[in-house]
Homo-oligomer: A and B are copies of this chain.
Amino acid sequence: MPPVTIRDVAKRLKLSITTVSRALDGYDDVAAKTRQRVVRAARTMGYVPSRAARQLRRQRADVIGYILPASGPHFTDPFFSEFIAGLGDAATSHNFDLLVSTAAPDSAAEKQIYARWVQSRLVDGIVVSRMRLRDWRARYLVKNKFPFVAHGHTLLTLKFPYIEIDSRAGFELLVQHLVARGHRRIGYIGAPANLTLQADRFAGYQNGLSAAGIAFDATLCAEGDLTRAGGYQAALQLLDLPTPPTALIGANDLTAAGAMRAARERGLTVGRDIAIAGYDGTDDSEHTQPPLTTLKQPVYDIAQRLVEMLVARIAGDALAAAQTVLQPVLIVRESTGGPSG
């Protein structure tokens, strides 16, 4: 059976489709009694407006989009689980739907998705995450005047709303913590250099060192890729140095988890022979063995707030152009010796 349309409802009630539409949309120029009849009939007949028709007429989809920075099988960063949960919950509560796609960063597929979503007006707005220093996505969306919000900034002179964690300050804190525990040779496992988060976190690491009067040593730095495997490889490299570091900081928790594994393989007991710390602070970090010292960012809340900003922006609210910077919270656990260590 074909879906029931507004026409069916109107016919059944011997009313015009206009009246039905207005009654359902809650206009106040409909007799209370009529409205009641309409609402009841619509419910019993199971009428739900066609998205396509409504969308065509109103020129908006009530959908927001998000693209996961990955494609392929092994994708399990808990950061993104929590992020998506936040986006989804917030979208629902604002009567939006969430469209999700996957694409490797800077791939042709990614560009194609953006073009398609924007040009075909499939979505009304986009949430962009894991920003890059010279992010073509920001450029593209600004150029097309397309509503979007970001998790993190760029180096470009573009104005757009974002929420961001002051990870630079966070990493300074982290270094300070390690120095207080007596560490001088502190290694750093970073992310690809084109990412904003790498620039920030690396800068924080360097600042932390210099604040403690420790000379920066490039040989103690390696590049990871924000995955466990990347952290593992990079950590091995650092641990096999003639004079290895006594502490390692990963650009995120996954990197740190990989580093923990590498340390164990080299016969080191994490938290005693070597200190390891990460960044993100999703639940998983509490459940590594030993539990991971980390900087916690409120991922779920950030996602929710991003959606709120985006929805406001789609509605044309100028206020939504805000740029918010939050402070991460240092959580000290056993991987760096424990709270009282």
Contacts and interface: CB of A to CB of B under 8 A. Distances in A.
A45 to B, nearest CB: 11
Interface in A85-113: 85-86, 88-89, 91-92, 97-103, 109, 113
Contact of A81 (B50, B81, B113, B264): B81
A122 interface: yes
A283 to B, nearest CB: 5
A169 interface: no
A48 interface: yes
Tell me the number of copies of this protein: 2
A50 to B, nearest CB: 6
Interface string A276-293: 000000111001110000
Interface residues of A, number: 62
Interface string A121-144: 110000000000000000000000
B121 A52 contact: yes
Contacts of A71: 85, 88-89
A75 B283 CA distance: 9
25 contacts: A3-B119, A47-B119, A51-B61, A51-B122, A52-B53, A52-B55, A52-B56, A52-B61, A53-B56, A56-B56, A71-B85, A72-B300, A73-B301, A76-B78, A78-B81, A84-B84, A85-B102, A88-B101, A88-B102, A92-B103, A92-B113, A97-B122, A228-B287, A261-B287, A289-B289
